[in-house]
Amino acid sequence: MITLPIDVQHMIADYIVTYEDLKALCVASKYFHSYVVPRLYKRIHLRLWDREHTDRFMESVAAGAGDKFRFTRTLVLEDIPMVAEPICDLTELRYLSECDWDEHRRGIDMTGEERESRMSECLRLFPEHCLRRFCFVARRSLPIHIIEHLQNRQHAIDQLYCTSSLDLTPLFRNLRQLHIYLQSTAHLAHYLQHPHVFSENIHELSFIYGPEDERDGSVLPDEFEVTKTLPNLKKVTLAGMDIRYAYRVGRGLIDSLDISTLTHLSMLECQGGNTFATGLGLIACKTEIDLEHIALDLGWLAEDKEGSVEIYLGDLLAAGRHIKSLHLKWYCSTLGEALVDRICAIGPRLESLSLQEGMDMYSVSPLNSRDLATIFKACPNLRQFGYQFGDEAYTNKDIDESIEDFVEAAKHLKELQMVHIRLSPYCTVGFASDEGQPEPNLILTQIQGAANKIFRGLHRSCLKLDAIVFGHLVDFSTRQDDGDWGPLPQFCFIKAEQKDRLGRETAVGVPVSRALLRKTQPYTDILDMDPGSDGWDRWAWQATS
């Protein structure tokens, strides 16, 4: 490689994404060493909960690595383990066994005080103001002395991921992006009622409420004292909250955020999304909006006897002249014909679309085959699509042909590159009978079969389709702990071609990890719009990606 022209060497080096390959490139030549070292140290991820891992980090510092920290721009501190995923290699995909899950959890061998001490020790190693992105992946707040250290010695941080507290506000003044895991929506109300704590340059706000056992704390106040808007705010995400009262024009959340200036708005797994959608529709009738991305949980459309939610959502879509990304979830109903027509009307602009009927006990396809085909024909530029099939599409293919209907309709999507298939927490995938436990091998067989069927069916028509993901970003141990039911974790596949002995080719799905999928696929952000993923896991995954 070192005999190639310099520009060709740079092109090859830019395609290297793994730390192992970067390290190998470092020893190829002195020139590559100087070219690669800044990339190798640009991002540092420390597992504070793993004593062996942090000890190795400190040993590398003692060996002289600390001098390279001047190249570091992103620092991720993982206080507790991330969600595990099914082990995969190039030939098979299998669930972690019970002992494997215990091994994954084994690493928490440091107390909170020890992790805090090691965090302080590590932070002191970085030169002043070198960091741009700081992520503290924890279910607890940043300690006061760490906040003070960052405030005094890391002024250049403009992206922050951490758990909420009222002591955080001194860090907000220079931020362009803030992603908070909320312990209480009272913290969010405090932040929004005191917008002066934010930088004028704040561009993106994300607040995810997590505690499932404290849903009363998820209710946003019905009134805010709006003293100042954030003129440069463009992207807002709220997840896991009750926003029934947040749409009140004049003193509500809409005014605090100034919806008319936003380009991205996501309300994932939020109760009261129907009333919020109504409020958005009212605003859209009176004010010009610039939204390019919308994600909403519309709630129980069957209870909306007058169809007002769909009417106002239709008004919002009609007014959204720039919408390229649309993600909707609803319960116990099919989309009305008028709303299907509205989606079709903006279809030529759509690049990302997901439609999910959130019925818990019996998973069904959210659209009939006719409406699905109509929408696909209207969306020639669609690159990412999220959907769901009924359980019998996996378990009783002779009765349910929804996968075949999907494949037939999707042949129009020449730009399609990523498909995300959602699964109900109560899906019967993996159950050999009505009684007993799900069988891991059967789960894998059924999901792999569905992936292969989609890849084969679209191999000649959707040439760009390269990735399919089934399931959600959750910890499989929750399904083990709860017994029969619970969400299935993500199973990721990329397309490959397989030949038999007669030379006949067919497309198959090759299992890969989430990390590899994210690194190799250009379009994966639809996975961040999955309302079925655990709020904490989704937030933590984005922080560490």
CA distance 220 to 265: 17
Q: Which phi and psi (to 5°) does residue 144 adopt? A: -55, -45
- Name the more confident of 446 and 13: 446
- For residues 71 and 103, the answer to whether their CB atoms sit within 8 Å is no
CA 65 to chain centre: 33
Give the pLDDT confidence score for residue 103 in this predicted structure: 39
DSSP string, 485-509: --PPBPEEEEEEEEE-TT--EEEEE
Give the pLDDT confidence score for residue 220 in this predicted structure: 64
Three-state secondary structure readout of 225-254: CCCCCCCCCCEEEEECCECCCCCCCCCCHH
Confidence of residue 100 (pLDDT cuts 50, 70, 90): very low
Q: Taking each helix axis as running N to C, give the angle between helix 30-40 and helix 6-14, from 0 to 180 degrees, rounded to the nearest 10.
A: 30
Give the pLDDT confidence score for residue 438 in this predicted structure: 67
Instruction: Measure the CA angle with vertex 507, ends 502 and 512; round to 5°.
Output: 125
Confidence of residue 175 (pLDDT cuts 50, 70, 90): very high
Q: 6-34 b/e with 16+ CB inside 10 Å = b?
A: eeebeeebeeeeeeeebeebbeeeeebee
Cα separations (Å) of 433 from 391, 439, 477, 493?
Answer: 13, 10, 22, 27
Tokens of residue 132, six digits: 């741009």
Give the pLDDT confidence score for residue 359 in this predicted structure: 63
- Beta-strand pair 235-239/133-137: unpaired
**Which residues, other chains included, contact 308 with Cβ-Cβ below 8 Å and sequence gap of 6+?**
278
**Which residues, other chains included, contact 160 with Cβ-Cβ below 8 Å and sequence gap of 6+?**
133, 134, 135, 171, 172, 175, 177, 178, 179
Minimal CA–CA distance to 537: which of 484, 481, 471, 467? 471
Give the pLDDT confidence score for residue 381 in this predicted structure: 96
Give the pLDDT confidence score for residue 282 in this predicted structure: 81
Residue type, 262: L
Give the pLDDT confidence score for residue 348 in this predicted structure: 95
Of 68-82, 263-277, 372-386, minimum mean pLDDT range: 263-277
Give the pLDDT confidence score for residue 474 in this predicted structure: 77
- Name the more confident of 96 and 47: 47
**Highest-pLDDT range among 69-83, 385-399, 441-455:** 69-83
Confidence of residue 94 (pLDDT cuts 50, 70, 90): very low
- For residues 86 and 103, the answer to whether their CB atoms sit within 8 Å is no
Give me the residues paired with residue 328 across strands: 296, 355
Q: Please report, in angstroms and rounded to a whole number, the separation of the first and last CA atoms in the chain.
A: 30
Give the pLDDT confidence score for residue 250 in this predicted structure: 44
CA distance 279 to 326: 17
Over residues 20-45, mean pLDDT: 72
- For residues 132 and 157, the answer to whether their CB atoms sit within 8 Å is yes
Give the pLDDT confidence score for residue 230 in this predicted structure: 79
CA distance 202 to 185: 20
Task: Kindly state the percentage of the chain with pLDDT values over 70.
Answer: 75
Task: Kindly state the percentage of the chain with pLDDT values over 90.
Answer: 34
Give the pLDDT confidence score for residue 12 in this predicted structure: 63
pLDDT of residue 97 exceeding 50, the answer is no
Q: 387-418 b/e with 16+ CB inside 10 Å = b?
A: bbbbbbbbbebeebebbebbbbbbebbebbbb
**Model-wide pTM > 0.75:** yes
Give the pLDDT confidence score for residue 90 in this predicted structure: 41
CA 76 to chain centre: 17
Q: Which phi and psi (to 5°) does residue 489 adopt? A: -70, 175
CA distance 394 to 65: 51
Over residues 191-218, mean pLDDT: 74
Give the pLDDT confidence score for residue 284 in this predicted structure: 82
Over residues 477-491, mean pLDDT: 62
Residue type, 167: D
Give the pLDDT confidence score for residue 310 in this predicted structure: 76
Sign of the four-CA dihedral 74, 76, 82, 88? positive
Give the pLDDT confidence score for residue 93 in this predicted structure: 44
CA distance 15 to 11: 7
Give the pLDDT confidence score for residue 43 in this predicted structure: 92
Minimal CA–CA distance to 293: which of 1, 498, 528? 528
Ranges of each domain in the chain: 1-40, 381-545
CA distance 499 to 497: 7
Of 129-138, 248-257, 371-380, minimum mean pLDDT range: 248-257
Tell me the average pLDDT of the chain.
80
**Highest-pLDDT range among 143-157, 351-365, 512-526:** 143-157
Tokens of residue 408, six digits: 């037939």
Enumerate helices (H) and strands (E) in the chain, giving the number of each: 19, 18
Over residues 97-102, mean pLDDT: 37
User: Residue 281, by phi and psi: left (phi above 0), alpha (psi -120 to 50) or beta?
Assistant: alpha
